[in-house]
Amino acid sequence: MKYEKDKKDIEERIKKFDQSRFVSDTWTSIINLLAYNLATIFGNPDNLREEYEKEISKYPDKKEITSLLLDIYKLIKDNPYKDVLGEIYMEIDLGNKYRGQFFTPYEVARLMTAMTFNKEGILKAIEERGICSFLDPTCGSGVMLLANAERLSEEHIDYSKYGFFVGQDVDKLAALMCFIQLSLNEMPAIVCVGDTLSNPIVFNECGDPILQEGQELWYTPKYIQNRYGIKVEYKDGQKKLVPAV
């Protein structure tokens, strides 16, 4: 299967990428670079572009790291809804047994979604509020949210227009993995880094999140496009923000 072959190739490249670093450090750096790049599509919140340049400057061979990043992007885009990053994370043996951090297999997430999916309730929410929302308070790499997006698609409900996905995780690395995958699956989403039990994400009466001390909020490009009615166009190699029609 091409997906398994391509994923295995990426896993081996990550393991051998930089022998002077732990594999966990290489993975964290890759996730940071992917997340910084996606988060700056509509601007430069929290100086993330500078953080991107600082992180990538650690690699003497920019072509090698750029090639790896692009191949990971492509694997996620070519395999919608799959928990690509979660699978790679577990395969390169980064699951944290001391935290009980083992990511849910995608087929299990699909089964759980099938058991709890309420199409009638979702259509009613869309009719009354214009959106249907999904919250995962321990989102990990986003597998449950991805499974719900796939089910919406199977039911011919446009989740990129009517869906709103919220994920929260105390582990920043996991939360950024979730942010990357929801972004590349064009899901309108907010991912919160923070402890769900002691510091849950909260929203004001307008539906906007209220940033709490000790939290980070990451907004997917599709969320920003839907919320503020803008999109990105490229002309003559230059990025431009224009109204989303």
* Domain C-terminal end among 47, 66, 91: 91
Domain extent, residue 118, equals: 106-233
Opening angle at CA 116, ends 226 and 130, nearest 5: 25
Residues 138 and 200: their CA atoms lie apart, in Å, by 11
Residues 209 and 225: their CA atoms lie apart, in Å, by 16
CA nearest neighbour of 136 among 95, 96, 173, 174:
174
Q: Name the domain count of the chain.
A: 2
- Residue 217 belongs to a domain: yes
Give the 3-state secondary structure percentages of the chain, helix then strand then coil, rounded to 5: 50, 15, 30
| 51 and 111 co-located in one domain | no
Q: What is the pLDDT of residues 46-56, one digit of tens each?
A: 889 999 999 99
Q: Kindly state the helix (H) or strand (E) to which residue 169 belongs, with its residue range.
A: strand 163-169
Residues 221 and 38: their CA atoms lie apart, in Å, by 7
Find the CATH number of the domain harbouring 186.
3.40.50
| 115 and 164 co-located in one domain | yes
* Domain C-terminal end among 32, 63, 91: 91
For the entire predicted model, the pTM comes to 0.92
| 83 and 142 co-located in one domain | no
Q: What is the pLDDT of residues 7-44, one digit of tens each?
A: 999 999 999 888 778 899 999 999 999 999 999 988 77
